[in-house]
Structure 1
Amino acid sequence: MRKLSVLSTTAVLLGLLAGCTDDPADAGPTPTKPPSTASGTPSATVTDSPEPSAPAAGELPRGGRTIFPEHQLVGFVGLPGSPALGPLDKNIDAKAAQLEKLATSYAGGRKPLPVMELIVVIANGHAGRDGQYRSRLSDEKIQPYLDTARKHKMLLLLDVQPGRADSLSEIKRLEKWLKEPDVGLSFDPEWAVGPGQVPGRVFGRTTGAELTSIAAYLSGLVKANNLPEKVFVFHQLSSRILSNEKAFKQQPGVVTIKSVDGIGNRADKEATWRKLTPTMAPGVHAGFKLFYEEDTRHGPLMTPAQVMALKPRPEFVVYE
Structure 2
Amino acid sequence: MACLLALACTPVVPLAPLTARVSVPAGATTVLDGDGPAALAVATSAALFASAPVAVLTAAADPAGPAAAGPMAERIGAPLLLTPTDEDSPDVRAELTRLGTTTVLAVGEEAVRWATAAEVAARIVTDEAALSPVVAPAHRQSVLVLATDPTAQLAAVTTARASGADLAVLPGGDPRLASEHLRRPEHVVALGSGFGSPEVLEQRLAVAATGVMLPGGGQVAFPGRRMVALYGHPGAPALGVLGEQDIAGSIRRARELAAEYQPLVGEPVVPAFEIIATVADSVPGSDGNYSAESSVDELRPWVDAAREAGVYVMLDLQPGRTDFLTQAKRYEELLAQPHVGLALDPEWRLGPQQLHRVQIGSVGIDEVNSVVTWLADLTRDRVLPQKLLMVHQFRLMMINGRDRLDTSRDELSLVLHADGFGTPDLKFATWRTLHQAAPSGVRWGWKNFYDEDSPMFTAAQTMAIGPQSPVFISFQ
TM-score, scaled relative to structure 1? 0.79
Gaps of at least 5 residues in structure 2 are 1-209
1:218 has 2:375 as partner: yes
Q: How far has the Cα of 1:96 moved from its partner? A: 1.4
In structure 2, distance between residues paired with 1:315 and 1:62: 14
Q: Deviations over 1:86-118 (max 9, x none)?
A: 121132212211211211322311111111011
Match of 1:87 in 2: 241
Structure having the larger proportion of residues in helix: 2
1:262 has 2:420 as partner: yes
User: What code does the residue aligned with 2:428 have?
Assistant: E
User: What code does the residue aligned with 2:234 have?
Assistant: P
Match of 1:112 in 2: 269
Match of 1:141 in 2: 298
User: What code does the residue aligned with 2:223 have?
Assistant: P
Match of 1:29 in 2: none
Aligned length: 262
Tell me, what secondary structure is at the counterpart of 1:115? Answer: strand
Tell me if the contact between 1:58 and 1:226 (Cα under 8 Å) persists in the aligned partners: no
Higher relative CO (CA 8 A, sep ≥ 6), structure 1 or 2? Answer: 1
Determine which of 300, 310, 313 is the counterpart of 1:156.
313
Determine which of 261, 272, 290 is the counterpart of 2:448.
290
Tell me, what secondary structure is at the counterpart of 2:242? Answer: coil
In structure 2, distance between residues paired with 1:248 and 1:61: 27
Q: How far has the Cα of 1:293 moved from its partner? A: 1.4
Determine which of 29, 46, 62 is the counterpart of 2:216.
62
Match of 2:326 in 1: 169
In structure 1, distance between residues paired with 2:452 and 2:298: 27
User: What code does the residue aligned with 1:87 have?
Assistant: V
Residue pairs, 1:22-37, within 5 angstroms: none
Structure 1 stretch 115-124 or stretch 275-284: which is displaced more? 275-284
1:240 has 2:394 as partner: no
Q: Deviations over 1:170-215 (max 9, x none)?
A: 1111111111111110110111111111122111111333222211
Gaps of at least 5 residues in structure 1 are 1-55
Q: How far has the Cα of 1:58 moved from its partner? A: 3.1
In structure 2, distance between residues paired with 1:177 and 1:279: 34
In structure 1, distance between residues paired with 2:362 and 2:227: 26
Q: How far has the Cα of 1:57 moved from its partner? A: 5.4
In structure 2, distance between residues paired with 1:208 and 1:287: 19
Determine which of 288, 303, 309 is the counterpart of 2:458.
303
Q: How far has the Cα of 1:67 moved from its partner? A: 1.3
Tell me if the contact between 2:219 and 2:386 (Cα under 8 Å) persists in the aligned partners: yes
In structure 2, distance between residues paired with 1:217 and 1:153: 26
Tell me, what secondary structure is at the counterpart of 1:88? Answer: helix
Match of 1:274 in 2: 432
Identity %, equivalent residues = 35
Match of 1:40 in 2: none
Q: How far has the Cα of 1:124 moved from its partner? A: 1.0
In structure 1, distance between residues paired with 2:329 and 2:295: 15
Tell me if the contact between 1:277 and 1:286 (Cα under 8 Å) persists in the aligned partners: no
User: What code does the residue aligned with 2:232 have?
Assistant: G
1:318 has 2:436 as partner: no
In structure 2, distance between residues paired with 1:167 and 1:261: 18
Structure 1 stretch 115-124 or stretch 59-68: which is displaced more? 59-68
In structure 2, distance between residues paired with 1:279 and 1:75: 27
TM-score, scaled relative to structure 2? 0.53
Q: Deviations over 1:198-238 (max 9, x none)?
A: 12211111133322221111110111001001011111121
